[in-house]
Amino acid sequence: MHGESGRRRLRVDENIQSDPSLEAPPHHLTRVDFGSLAEAKTLRELSLEGNQIKVLHPNDLRTLAHLEKLSLPANRLKFVWSGALNGLGKLENLDLSANRVKSLERGVLADVPELKRLSLSDNRLKRLPKVLFSDLAYLEHLDLSQNKIKKLPNDIFVYNSKLQSLVLKKNNLRRIKPGWFVNLLNLVDLSLEDNAIKVRTPGHLLEVDTFVSVTLNTST
């Protein structure tokens, strides 16, 4: 690593090819020069937890074609532009938790169709595009907890029939619309606690016949 006009970037030499994972030390990086990883064709895991990265730009990650797990929690991330995940066709696990993301563009996840686990918890999301998850047919675990989400678009999960775990706790949801979860035939864990939802018969409203566990705070 070295400084450049007050910024620090990740630089990796050819030795990365002998190790399928890379973890950068925390608190230093403001941006990663992924162009320097062009030779790292075997890299499968990348962790940049606890740094100061603010933006993921289009094509930042395009050289990491074999990456399966990308961890960016506890940065200062505000923007993930459409095309930022371009080239990550094999990515299965994406962690963007504990950042400052307020919104996501509708096509930002289109380049990661193999994704199985996604964490957007502890951000500042207020609303989600209707088609945000439409390309994630293999998604199994989705964590949207600790945001500021007030409502969800109709049919937002219609293409996510493999989803097993959905965490929506600690948001600002006030009501549940029939049909939100109707296509989630494999869902076994739904967490809705610490919202402002008031219902008397959650099973009926949630259509939870196939759910194993539903956690819903109904206190006033």
Domain containing residue 43: CATH number: 3.80.10.10
Domain co-membership, 186 together with 95: no
- The number of angstroms, rounded, from the C-alpha of 191 to the middle of its chain's C-alpha atoms is 17
pLDDT recorded at residue 26: 67
Domain co-membership, 33 together with 76: yes
Backbone torsion region of residue 155, taken as left when φ is above 0, otherwise alpha when ψ lies between -120 and 50, otherwise beta? left
Beta-bridge mates of residue 55: 79
pTM score of the predicted model: 0.86
Between the alpha carbon of residue 193 and those of residues 62, 78, 166, 215, the distances in Å are 38, 26, 12, 6
- Residue numbers in the chain where pLDDT is lower than 50: 1-6, 11-15, 17-18, 201, 204, 210-212, 219-220
Q: How far apart are CA 148 and CA 39, in angstroms?
A: 40
Domain co-membership, 117 together with 13: yes
> Is 135 among the domain residues?
no
> Is 136 among the domain residues?
no
Report the 10 Å Cβ neighbour count for 35.
Answer: 11
Beta-bridge mates of residue 214: 190
Q: Which domain holds residue 32?
A: 1-124
Domain co-membership, 90 together with 162: no
Q: Which helix (H) or strand (E) holds 203?
A: helix 202-206
How do residues 12-23 score in pLDDT, each as one tens digit? 443 454 467 777
Domain co-membership, 156 together with 106: no
Domain total for the chain?
A: 2
Domain co-membership, 115 together with 199: no
Domain co-membership, 85 together with 8: yes
Q: How far apart are CA 141 and CA 119, in angstroms?
A: 8
pLDDT recorded at residue 49: 94
Domain co-membership, 64 together with 107: yes
Domain co-membership, 18 together with 66: yes
pLDDT recorded at residue 20: 74
pLDDT recorded at residue 107: 93
pLDDT recorded at residue 31: 83
Between the alpha carbon of residue 80 and those of residues 11, 197, 210, the distances in Å are 22, 30, 34
